[in-house]
Amino acid sequence: MRAALLIQRWYRQYAARLEMRRRCTWNIFQSIEYSGQQDHIKLYNFFGYLMDHFTSASSQRNLVSQMFRESDVFQDVEWERQFCYKDIEVPDVYGGPHLSFPLTVSTVTELVDAFKNKQKLHARYVLQLLGKTWTLLRLMPNISHVCSCKHTEITICGDLHGHLEDLLLVFYKNGFPSAETPYVFNGDFVDRGKESMEILLVLFAFLLLYPLDVHLNRGNHEDHIVNLRYGFTKEVLGKYPVHGKMILKLLQKIFSCLPLATVIDQKVLILHGGISDKTDLNLIAKLDRRRFVSALRPLTRREADGDEEDASAGRRRVQSLTHGLTGRSRQELPRHSLHSGSGLTGRPRKELHSGSGLTGRPRKELHSGSGLMSRSVDEELRERRRLAGLSLSSNSQLDSAEVLESDVEEWKQIVDVLWSDPMSQNGCVPNEVRGGGCYWGPDVTQEVLDRHKLKLLIRSHECKQEGYEFCHNGRVLTIFSASNYYDVGSNRGAYIRLGPDLIPHFKQFQASRSTRELTLRQSVGRTERSALQALRMQLFTHTSALIREFQEYDPQCTGVISVKHWAEAVEKVLRLSLPWRVLRAQLVTSTQDGMLNYQHWLNQLSVIQTHTEIANTGLLETLYKHHSNLESIFRMIDTDHSGLISLEEFHQTWRLLSSHLQTVISDEAIAELADSIDFNKDGSIDINEFMEAFRLVEQCRGVGEDEPAPE
């Protein structure tokens, strides 16, 4: 008996340690993901601020303007003519699937099988399918209403994020969509995964086949600005180099036409992100969702009225996605706790970004070629605009008023639906962890659901380790259908089956067969290594800032600091709210008497750098640190989606990034970088080649670790 108790005690301790490692790994992945989203929104708000308050002193103004340029303004009939597929010929050698309309069950089934076998649908059929989807979606309401009385069960899927393998597994387990098997797909079909286009085509095909039984909600990634950063734009242009531009333009229209929510039996609300204390389903049902091509900004008067001649309305006030909440004092922001699984605890308060995206920022020390300078906000902005070739607009106050109050209110409703997350505390606070929407508490859930006579809110938007999670006394349910989201073995996917009793039944799955064969210890170890690799890369890209912070704790310049000070310094620089002292054992190989040689530790951050020789180490570190921001700017500038930008546009990109980061990067350093990457000396730079040349890849660390998978 004593032996059995000892074994039981040992196993419980072993399981607890594994669970602690699993939660810590999860926090790393999620903190890095949300930090990236926040960076993207800050960058976009910065460009909006330039459009708001500055006029051109050079060609820089045109560069910023084209980043914000929406699709060409056409009437619906003109759009249909522009995207006519009939002039595109399908060659005889094409061996992929063929489509004929109206679609049949056998045709759609063949399309699914073709994608399963890695075949590609011809651009003619893609445009034809997208055009018919757009025509259908324009007729649909903002909130779809579904009745379960006619069906046995309704299936609800969460985020798929380009994981076609997960969608096919759901169909295998649950059956294809049909009148007998209706589905609700709750947004975020694209980005991150490599088969987003195939997922869209499959879902749109089933939507055309069963328009009353397949329901698609818009997610925050059904947004062409978000797609620039997270891979979908690059995927489409890679798969369809000739017609990719046309496909992307049509998808912008389709995304803006997607319904915002689905209601089942007037009792269950399904939407992608969440709600706020201002959510009004009656207002959401009446607004014109098609005007909001991107949810990252409110409409201008030009967009609201369709007046293309009003040049002054070209500038707009880009409000923060984390909008202030009237009548409520600011509270500390929540974050996911290592010790509470999915619970939320207080997050250190940060400065809220104002409507302009930059005003309201605290005074900051700027690093420049002449040393450290402390400026007021206005002085700082004027200097950075001067360096970027921009001058202050004299009528910026007038232009800022170009946003209609009613349009802003509608925009806020959409932002909350697409971007918000639940928290365990009561109240409603800006979601500055993501950079958009809000965090809402159980009291807000109760008030909004009771006001609309609803029982349950089903949402997605957050990856959950088991694929689903209840909160707010069982009245909010998160469902996530992309398994292995952060890495192989990181999480299960799940979907819901909801019957007439409106009691959800969960089906979990794991798309990777190799993961299903791993033990718990092997699975945790594999994902932990991947998370630590991502974290080491984050540390490497902040080397200079870490050194400056370490030196604050080392006034005698001994090169040594305590582990406590190391943890405090790392958190100040990265601001990921991670348990650094817990992670020390995995990140710091050696300490002596609780002291750390930080220079030696930084040298041990083992990464492979680019083979391109650049003398300016500050420029190189900026490139690594802001790799994703650079790619976003490049793809915004590349409005014709050619994959190429001129050397002048390359210089302008770096000037914009320098202004955004409030740092100085010399023209000579930029010219050296451009010359080193223009391999054929034709005066243009291939975006994909440039970004790949400077992508960080970690070396293999330690014996027995998994080798990186071949590309």
Q: Which residues are catalytic?
A: 221
The CB-side HSE value for 460 (13 A sphere, CA atoms) comes to 32
Q: Please, what's the b/e burial string for 127-162 (b: 16 or more CB within 10 A of its CB; e: otherwise)?
A: bbbbbbbbeebeebebbbebebeebebbbbbbbbbb
Q: Calculate the CA 638 to chain-centre distance.
A: 20
| Residue 230: both structure tokens together | 């997270």
537: which residues sit within 8 A by CB, 6+ positions away?
Answer: 607, 696, 698
CA 48 – CA 311 distance, rounded (Å): 16
CA 466 – CA 445 distance, rounded (Å): 23
| Residue 404: both structure tokens together | 């209609």
CA 330 – CA 10 distance, rounded (Å): 45
Helix, strand, coil % (nearest 5) of the chain?
45, 15, 40
CA 654 – CA 633 distance, rounded (Å): 9
Residue with tokens 């389903």: 281
CA 169 – CA 481 distance, rounded (Å): 10
CA 483 – CA 159 distance, rounded (Å): 10
Q: Calculate the CA 198 to chain-centre distance.
A: 19
Indicate the burial class of 4 (C-beta count within 10 angstroms; 0-12, 13-18, 19 or more): exposed
CA 516 – CA 210 distance, rounded (Å): 34
Report the candidate in 601, 537, 524 with the shortest Cα–Cα distance to residue 567. Answer: 601
| Residue 644: both structure tokens together | 């190429």
Residue with tokens 């607890």: 16
CA-angle at 389, arms to 383 and 390, nearest 5°: 75
> E strand or H helix at 334, and its extent?
strand 333-336
CA 538 – CA 29 distance, rounded (Å): 11
The CB-side HSE value for 442 (13 A sphere, CA atoms) comes to 10
Residues in the chain, total: 711
Indicate the burial class of 40 (C-beta count within 10 angstroms; 0-12, 13-18, 19 or more): buried
